[in-house]
Chain A
Amino acid sequence: MKIKQLLLFAFVAFGYLFHASCEDEMANVVTDEPVKNITGSWKVVQLTRNGEDLSQRLNLTDFRIDFKEDGSYILANELPFVLVGSGAYTLNDPQYPFSVLMTADGESEQIAVKLQYPVVNGKRQLSLSFSLGCAGNTYQYNFEREN
């Protein structure tokens, strides 16, 4: 019985400590979500069409997208993309972005590209998905930062 009481006491004591420490910690945690920064030069590491991986079958080496700090982008593409050339971009929400809004130079139409920002094998990836021809065909480009 003694062990049981001791255990009970220890449990309650730990519980209290844990609870108390949590409260202190929680008060000090900064809850501001950092602003997502997608600037830099990105190279394609994977391309899928309707979930089918085409990376090994297409030449991805010459495809680059450069998001500059001044809000412009430059696209070097030998592969289809929603836009060509260069233009301006902005995130729909700097803290919780789920799309990047892109406008090509000389065009008025703003195109929303679905954006994900996962960490794969310890590296931050930029994942853009969209349709190019038929709406039923979805392409996903996964990029890694070059610099």
Chain B
Amino acid sequence: MKRPFQNLVYLYILAGLSLTIFLVHCGLKALTVTVPAQAQVDERVTFVMHSGAEPRIEEPGTYTTQLLAGIMVPKSWNAREQAVLTYTSPKGNGTLRMIPDSEIEPVSGVSWHQAAKNMFGIGPNLVDDFEWIIYRSTQSYTFSNNEDIDFNVQVACNVGSENMLVRLGFYVGSSIENLRPEDDQYKKFTFSDVFEVSGGEGDVQDFVNPQLGTIQPVRSLDNDIITLVFNGGVMNTVLDGLNEVYLRAQAFDSDGQLIAEVMEQNDKTKMGSIGGRQFRIDIWPRGFFAIEKGKQIARLEYFFTNADGTKTVGYGNTEEPFRYTFRCE
């Protein structure tokens, strides 16, 4: 009775040990990316991810998996419709296909794209108007012990029609490992240096540098709840050192007519301090401006003021108001 039991214990220890060795030493090499410094609007650009596999597997076992790769790009690029991912490696070249939204990432219980967004976030960008999109190689590959390879993933993507400064996100992984929070061997991600898109019409969307005034979500309509933030840490303004900051805002319709304004300083317009000389207010524009049914706010103009409204800060710390246009696209 004793001997088989002892053998069983040894077997368990061995299995546990090999699993540990496997987990510690098998995995992917650190991810680096080649991203050009700039591009013209509507240009098709190729970004390249460089990584590799370092299989350390207990002989004679093998490891069979599919390559995962992901990108984090501005939603306005519409990358889901037009980005193409391919890879090159000593074990073969091929294409990656976008994982369907209906497929659930098993650890998080949400789609792969949402799981990646939850896990990797927006990195060093300050404003969130991004989507993570995860792709999987159509072919699977079997590795044996010490079969180290380097591989590249090429991302061909149209950079959209808006001027912007942005840092893009990239990910590579192994399909059978899922997105486990504790794992750092099979998921490698990184964010690029600043990538500039220029040559288009309109203002530059700056995702990277702190802004004096921002509105989230970047895309919204007057029936959304929007968050306005005044970041006094960006530069010196007349509001420096004040504990109370208020919002002063005007609403315009699509003809450019002023349809409502909130100019007073009271509880309704008082912004809450969130530390780091930043103040925040959440408003539902239709309720905030008491807009009648049937009317729409097309855009806002706003300032940040002190408690009696005598000191104001506008766009870029000038007399000009901050402007925000309601839109979804």
A: residues with CB less than 8 A from B are 3-4, 49-51, 54, 57-58, 78-80, 132-137, 139
Contact = CB atoms under 8 A, between A and B. Distances in A.
A144 to B, nearest CB: 21
Interface residues of B, number: 20
A73 B282 CA distance: 28
Given A80-B223, A134-B224, A137-B220, 9 more contacts: A51-B118, A54-B282, A79-B284, A132-B223, A132-B224, A133-B224, A134-B219, A135-B328, A136-B219
B222 interface: yes
A136 B286 CA distance: 19
B105 to A, nearest CB: 15
Interface string B1-28: 1000000000000000000000000000
Contacts of A49: 217, 224-225
Interface string B217-246: 101111111000000000000000000000
A58 B282 CA distance: 7
A59 B209 CA distance: 32
B52 interface: no
Contacts, number: 52
Contacts of A135: 328
Contacts of B286: 80
A4 B2 CA distance: 12
A134 B75 CA distance: 13
B280 interface: yes
B127 to A, nearest CB: 13
A46 to B, nearest CB: 14
A133 B282 contact: no
B309 interface: no
A133 B328 CA distance: 8
Q: List the 7 closest A-B pairs by CB distance, nearest first.
A: A133-B221, A133-B224, A134-B328, A133-B223, A132-B223, A80-B284, A57-B282
B272 A57 contact: yes
Contact of A3 (B1, B221, B280, B282): B1
Given A3-B1, A133-B328, A135-B328, A80 B225 contact: yes
Contacts of A3: 1
A78 B118 CA distance: 30
B77 interface: no
A136 B217 contact: yes
B326 interface: yes
Given A57-B272, A57-B282, A136 B225 contact: no
A134 B287 CA distance: 17
Nearest to A84: B293
B287 A78 contact: yes
A134 B220 contact: yes
A4 B272 CA distance: 72
B221 A134 contact: yes
B280 A57 contact: yes
A139 B282 CA distance: 14
A10 to B, nearest CB: 16
A73 B328 CA distance: 31
Nearest to B267: A59
Given A79-B284, A80-B286, A139-B225, A133 B1 contact: no
A78 B282 CA distance: 13
B217 to A, nearest CB: 5
Contacts of A136: 75, 217, 219, 328
Interface centre among B1, B221, B326 (most CB of A within 10 A): B221
Contacts of B1: 3-4
Contacts of B219: 134, 136-137
A138 to B, nearest CB: 10
A134 B225 CA distance: 11
Nearest to B114: A51
29 contacts: A4-B1, A49-B224, A49-B225, A50-B217, A54-B282, A57-B272, A57-B280, A57-B282, A58-B282, A78-B287, A79-B225, A79-B284, A80-B223, A80-B224, A80-B284, A80-B287, A132-B223, A132-B224, A133-B222, A133-B326, A133-B328, A134-B217, A134-B220, A134-B224, A134-B328, A136-B217, A136-B219, A137-B217, A137-B220
A50 B225 CA distance: 11
